[in-house]
């Protein structure tokens, strides 16, 4: 079975939808960020603080290679994983890319907790909105390259997972 690869901006529901989708499909859930933290023994915010973003992106590339070499997974990527064309090519070669999207207000609400989102954590409320808008615009074309897109703004994770099950049925064989 091909992998189902969830891409999208932070706060669009990749992890929560991914867990439910994996259960629904009867396959393993593979959260790239969690795998990176397990391998490195520190959290991603700590990685950014201690080693910088380039170090994290190198670990991310390693995690993508390992996940793409497997099959039958639901893979939740980090929001910036798609910034690297090689990552996208590897993930596409092993599965179906599903972009999860959400409007700016939904993203701000879902990412309000400090400490978990290194790219946004330094900003105050107005700056966070501006940062989200800017990053969404920068990555829009990358997310639009997915095979399927699902707006999660007004849907529960279970509704999104069920939609993906139906939408990917012919591709997963």
Confidence of residue 81 (pLDDT cuts 50, 70, 90): very high
Residue 26 annotated as part of some ligand binding site = no
The helix, strand and coil proportions of the chain, stated in percent and rounded to the nearest 5, come to 55, 15, 30
CA 97 distance to own-chain centroid: 11
pLDDT of residue 171: 74
Q: How far apart are CA 126 and CA 147, in angstroms?
A: 33
Report whether pLDDT(165) > 80.
yes
Residue 79 annotated as part of some ligand binding site = yes
pTM, whole model, 2 decimals? 0.90
The residue ranking higher by pLDDT, 170 or 113, is 170
Q: Note the pLDDT tens digit of each residue in 130-163.
A: 889 999 999 999 999 999 999 999 999 999 999 9
Query: Taking all residues of the chain, what is their mean pLDDT, rounded to a whole number?
Result: 90
pLDDT of residue 114: 54
Q: How far apart are CA 34 and CA 129, in angstroms?
A: 26
Residue 14 annotated as part of some ligand binding site = yes
The answer as to CATH 3.20.20.410 being correct for domain 3-171 is: no
Residue 139 annotated as part of some ligand binding site = yes
Domain ranges of the chain: 3-171
């Amino acid at each position: 079975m091909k992998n189902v690869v969830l891409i999208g901006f932070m706060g669009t529901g990749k992890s929560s939808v991914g867990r439910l989708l994996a259960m629904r499909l009867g396959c393993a859930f593979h959260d790239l960020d969690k795998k990176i933290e397990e391998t490195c023994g520190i959290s991603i915010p700590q990685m950014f603080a201690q080693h910088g973003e380039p170090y994290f992106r190198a670990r991310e590339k390693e995690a993508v290679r390992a996940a793409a070499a497997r099959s039958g997974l639901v893979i939740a990527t980090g929001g910036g994983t798609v910034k690297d064309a090689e990552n996208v090519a590897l993930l596409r070669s092993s599965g179906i890319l599903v972009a999860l999207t959400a409007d700016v207000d939904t993203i701000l609400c879902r990412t309000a907790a400090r400490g978990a989102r290194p790219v946004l954590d330094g900003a105050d409320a107005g700056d966070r909105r501006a940062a989200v808008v800017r990053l969404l615009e920068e990555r829009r074309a990358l997310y639009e390259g997915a095979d399927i897109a699902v707006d999660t703004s007004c849907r529960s994770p279970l509704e999104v997972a069920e939609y993906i099950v139906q939408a990917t049925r012919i591709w997963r064989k």
